[in-house]
Amino acid sequence: MPELPEAETIARTLFPHIANCIFESAVLLRQKSLHPLSMSLDKAAGLKVAGTRRRGKLVIIDLDDLSSSCLLPKMLVFHLRMTGRVFAKDESWPSCSHTRCFFSLLRPSGERIKLFFDDIRAFGQIMLTTKKMIENWKFWKELGPEPFETDLKTFKNAIKGGRPVKTVLMDQKTIAGIGNIYADESLFCAGINPKRPADSITELEAQKLLTSIQAILKKSISECGSSIRDYLDANGNAGAFQNFFSVYGKGGKNCIKCGAILQKTKINGRATVFCSNCQN
């Protein structure tokens, strides 16, 4: 389940494979995997890979239009949702039943490669867009600040309302890139009960929570993300942060801090694990 650290790892590991490549053609195998606001993937032809990056959980390939005099930068945006994967392989690599689209790319060396977007559960979507067009996307426009670029005041102001603090954390408008894994882990690290109404969080707790989020995301990025079942980076390697989980997927086991049995519950329809002793 790619969240921020996994998207970051994919963006980093993908770039060496496709640096300076020119897009030649696209094959879309599942129409619904194309975002409704996307332009036709054929429009990628002739564009050159300028870089790869991440925004929240989104993986982005920046593209330069070499032919256009008005230099209108385009970008290919991947929303990986649960099981999306982006990776490059040599030309002979076959698509599989989970391949949603693939591109043919030309390397500066003249070698031809393929860029795949595979997605088992088919929740993910791909979008070819421009910096201007993407502003029409409500999700993009409302996306909260990056966890490493925000400050306490902004964060505290976003933690508001009577919803459970975990729900607010996972709301991409609050802060970008936090999903179920990192919400549970951050709340445990900060000693905050995930069911607490967001507006009951004190300034001190918000401070602790933001620090925890940043520390956990940083650690996970350094471990190349978490691989629960499906996630692999652009090189096909698994992450290792799952070996550092304190609570996620550990309901019924003992708390690593106090030894109490970790509670498993559902918040907003999402599996949630916490320690009722350590998290108040």
* Candidates 18-26, 69-77, 253-261, 267-275; binding stretch for DNA (CB under 7 A): 267-275
Nearer to DNA, 105 or 201 (CB): 201
* Interface residue with DNA, options 47, 63, 165, 170 (CB under 7 A): 170
Give the closest residue to 256 by CA, choosing from 278, 226, 229: 278
Q: Is 110 in the site for DNA (CB under 7 A)?
A: no
- Listed in sequence order, the residues at least 6 apart from 38 whose beta carbon sits closer than 8 Å to its beta carbon are 125, 126, 127, 128, 129
Q: Name 179's bridge partners.
A: none
Give the closest residue to 182 by CA, choosing from 169, 173, 191: 169
Site for DNA in 190-219 (CB under 7 A): none
Rounded to the nearest 5°, which phi and psi values hold at 56? Answer: 60, -125
Catalytic status, residue 2? yes
Q: Is 138 in the site for DNA (CB under 7 A)?
A: yes
Compute how many residues bind DNA; rule: CB under 7 A. 30
Q: Catalytic residue, from 54, 55, 57, 114: name it.
A: 57
Catalytic status, residue 81? no
Catalytic status, residue 218? no
Distance (Å) of CA 67 to CA 42, 51, 130, 133:
15, 18, 15, 20
Alpha helices in 45-173 (DSSP H): 138-142, 152-158, 165-170
Q: Is 29 in the site for DNA (CB under 7 A)?
A: no
What whole-number distance in Å separates Cα of residue 136 and Cα of residue 251?
A: 41
Nearer to DNA, 22 or 183 (CB): 183
Catalytic status, residue 270? yes
Question: What's the N-to-C CA distance of the chain in angstroms?
Answer: 27
Q: Is 48 in the site for DNA (CB under 7 A)?
A: no
* Interface residue with DNA, options 95, 104, 214, 268 (CB under 7 A): 268
Structure tokens at 133: 């067009």
Q: Is 227 in the site for DNA (CB under 7 A)?
A: no
Q: Which residues bind DNA (CB under 7 A)?
A: 1, 3, 32, 56-57, 79, 81-82, 97-98, 120-123, 138-139, 161-163, 167, 170, 172, 179-181, 229, 268-271
Catalytic residue positions, numbered: 2-3, 57, 270
